[in-house]
Amino acid sequence: MTYILNIETATKNCSVSLAKNGETILCREIAEQGYSHAEKLHVFIEEILKETRVKAQDLKAIAVSKGPGSYTGLRIGVSAAKGLCYALGIPLISVDTLQVLAKQALHVIDYDGGYIIPMIDARRMEVYSAVYDGGNERITDVKAEILTENSYVECPEPLYFVGDCQEKCKTVMKGFNFHFLSEIVFPSANEMSSLSFEKFSKDEFEDVAYFEPFYLKDFMIAKVK
């Protein structure tokens, strides 16, 4: 019996789930305009363990969404995950944030070919993105890209876009084969359950002392004018 606590804080969605053998038992999440991760994360963890009557000592691993995404959100999630791993003496698992987002699309589309493209808003017309196939396997590198009217026009297959930047995508991307799944906005810890269990089964763990989130880009501090 393998209990894994999953933490997803890479975007505005503060999300926590408890999974048993890769199946979600309970998930708590909230997405607000102002990031509330620092206030909500530990509350959600405590509520989930209490409601499921699973003790922290019963956990076999902690999984955290590794990015890309919000610098602050990732730091909060990874810090919490590391603290729990240290305290409980259990391994740390990292899960690709874009893969978590892409996995949700397979629950809502009648997949018959094409590709899933999860995107996380960066700034202006820039997004963090990658391309996934129908098996939820990443087939391109994760990148920060500027969206234009020529983005993805060379691909004739159906393309399913998910993430929190779909509205700005629609302003420039007009391909006949483009499908925007507006109901899928943020990655969720609910979709992390099977992904983290798969990694646990393969002993794919991170070094708790040295693991850092995948920011993709350096954190920029704006100068006050």
Identify the band that residue 97 occupies on the pLDDT scale cut at 50, 70 and 90: very high
pLDDT (0 to 100) of residue 76: 96
Helix axes 71-88, 37-52, angle to 10 degrees: 40
Q: How far apart are CA 65 and CA 213, in angstroms?
A: 8
pLDDT at 218: 54
Instruction: State yes or no: pLDDT of 91 exceeds 60.
Output: yes
Query: What is residue 123's predicted lDDT score, i.e. its pLDDT?
Result: 83
Quote the CA–CA distance of 115 and 192 in Å, as a whole number: 20
Q: What is the reported pLDDT for 219?
A: 44
Tell me what pLDDT residue 8 has.
Answer: 97
pLDDT of residue 21: 98
pLDDT interval class at 35 (50, 70, 90)? confident
Kindly report the average pLDDT of the chain as a whole number.
93
HEC-encoded secondary structure of 104-165: HHCCCCCCCCCEEEEEEEEECCEEEECCECCCCCECCCCEEEECCCCCCCCCCCCEEEEECC
Residues forming a β-bridge with 17: 6, 27
The tens digit of pLDDT for each residue in 212-221 reads 999 987 544 4
- What confidence tens digit (pLDDT) does each residue in 157-185 have? 999 999 999 999 999 999 999 999 999 99
Q: pLDDT band for position 223 (50/70/90)?
A: very low
Contact between 183 and 164 (Cβ < 8 Å)? no
Q: What is the DSSP letter of 170?
A: H
- Quote the DSSP letter at residue 206: B
Q: Which residues pair with 31 in a beta bridge?
A: 13
Q: How sure is the predictor about 32, in pLDDT bands with cuts at 50, 70 and 90? A: confident
> Cα–Cα distance between 172 and 151 in angstroms, integer?
9
Distance CA 6, CA 62 (A): 6
Answer yes or no: is pLDDT of 11 > 90: yes
- Interatomic CA distance for residues 188 and 165, integer angstroms: 16
Identify whether the C-beta of residue 6 lies closer than 8 Å to the C-beta of residue 14. Answer: no
The pLDDT assigned to 221 comes to 40
Span 36-51, mean pLDDT?
A: 95
Q: Is the pTM of this model over 0.85?
A: yes
In which residue are the tokens 């089964």 written? 201
177-to-24, 115, 149, 161, 173 alpha-carbon distances in Å:
33, 11, 14, 11, 10
Minimal CA–CA distance to 35: which of 74, 73, 80, 77?
73
Evaluate if residue 33 carries a pLDDT over 80. no
The pLDDT of 92-99, averaged and rounded, is: 98
- For residue range 67-90, list pLDDT tens digits in order: 999 999 999 999 999 999 999 999
- The token duo for 140 is 């391109």
State the average pLDDT over residues 110-115: 90
- In this predicted model, what pLDDT tens digit does every residue of 119-155 receive, in sequence order? 999 988 999 999 999 999 999 999 999 999 999 999 9
